[in-house]
């Protein structure tokens, strides 16, 4: 099996993206499965184009995309991606789409086809706060989750895909100490545990 992990570059004025830092620390193999890693630009369209190209070239069995959800205190295993781009801040290329469908010919929403309940439970069992989230937002993370699931549906690909949002890491909240954060070690552990679970 090949698991593709994607993560985004920093955005919104942050110096790091905890999802990207966590991806870098993941091992190259989990449970006999090869872990492929791809960094994505935090840019509408370009991010989806890049992951589509990679999927066509490397044909992973499973795609787990990661992103930062600043303000959340727990690992969020996302249930659903919706067909809307609605940005409240510009992406890293200055785009700020409002109320626009991602793909005119796509469904209103696609559900993750990963075992999200088991993944969230496994992360909690490892001692790390986690829950299923019913919104991946309307920014670039939802855009990529939607774009990958759209491709899987349209091309009838035998692939599983989903999205995990992670909290800020402590160094990001020094100037905003009311914001929750989680250690990078816990975030990495949570993703590893989630991968082991979805392979089981």
Q: Binding string to ligand PCA for residues 68 to 107, with x set by CB under 6 A, is what?
A: xx--------------------------------------
Instruction: Judge whether 141 counts as a catalytic residue.
Output: yes
> DSSP H helical segments within the chain, as ranges?
18-25, 46-58, 116-125, 140-154, 184-199
Spatial distance between the Cα atoms of 129 and 116, rounded to a whole number of angstroms = 14
What is the sign of the dihedral through the CA atoms of 131, 73, 142 and 19? negative
Catalytic pick from 21, 143, 165, 186? 165
Closer residue to ligand PCA in complex, CB, 19/30:
19
Spatial distance between the Cα atoms of 164 and 18, rounded to a whole number of angstroms = 12
Q: Which residue has the tokens 């969020």?
A: 76
Instruction: Judge whether 165 counts as a catalytic residue.
Output: yes
Residues 7-26 within binding reach of ligand PCA (CB under 6 A): 8, 11, 17, 19
- Give yes or no for residue 137 binding ligand PCA (CB under 6 A): yes
Which tokens sit at 14? 């942050």
Instruction: Judge whether 195 counts as a catalytic residue.
Output: no
Residue 186 Cβ vs ligand PCA, minimum distance, rounded to whole Å: 17
State which of residues 26, 48, 140, 169 lies at the interface with ligand PCA (CB under 6 A): 140
What is the sign of the dihedral through the CA atoms of 166, 170, 172 and 178? positive
Residue 160 Cβ vs ligand PCA, minimum distance, rounded to whole Å: 21
Which tokens sit at 151? 């491709």
Spatial distance between the Cα atoms of 129 and 164, rounded to a whole number of angstroms = 13
> Total number of residues binding ligand PCA (CB under 6 A)?
12
Spatial distance between the Cα atoms of 128 and 115, rounded to a whole number of angstroms = 18
Q: Binding string to ligand PCA for residues 37 to 56, with x set by CB under 6 A, is what?
A: -----x--------------
Catalytic pick from 141, 143, 186, 197? 141
| Catalytic residue numbers, as ranges | 78, 141, 165
Q: Can you give the binding site for ligand PCA, defined by CB under 6 A?
A: 8, 11, 17, 19, 42, 67-69, 137, 139-141
């Amino acid at each position: 099996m090949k698991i593709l992990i994607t993560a985004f570059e920093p955005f919104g004025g942050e110096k790091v993206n905890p999802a990207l830092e966590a991806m870098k620390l993941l091992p190259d193999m989990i449970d006999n499965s090869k872990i492929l890693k791809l960094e994505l630009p935090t840019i509408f369209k370009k991010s989806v184009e890049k992951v589509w190209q990679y999927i066509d070239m490397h044909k992973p069995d499973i795609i787990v995309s990661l992103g930062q959800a600043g303000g959340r205190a727990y690992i969020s295993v996302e249930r659903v991606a919706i067909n809307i781009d609605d940005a409240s801040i510009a992406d890293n290329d200055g785009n700020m789409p409002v109320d626009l469908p991602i793909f005119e010919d796509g469904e209103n929403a696609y559900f993750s086809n990963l075992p999200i309940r088991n993944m969230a439970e496994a992360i909690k069992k490892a001692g790390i706060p986690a829950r299923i989230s019913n919104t991946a937002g309307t920014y670039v993370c939802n855009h990529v989750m939607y774009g990958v699931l759209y491709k899987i549906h349209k091309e009838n690909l035998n692939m599983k895909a989903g999205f995990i949002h992670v909290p800020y890491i402590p160094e990001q909240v020094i100037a905003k100490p009311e914001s929750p954060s989680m250690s990078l070690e816990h975030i990495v552990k949570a993703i590893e545990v989630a991968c082991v679970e979805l392979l089981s």
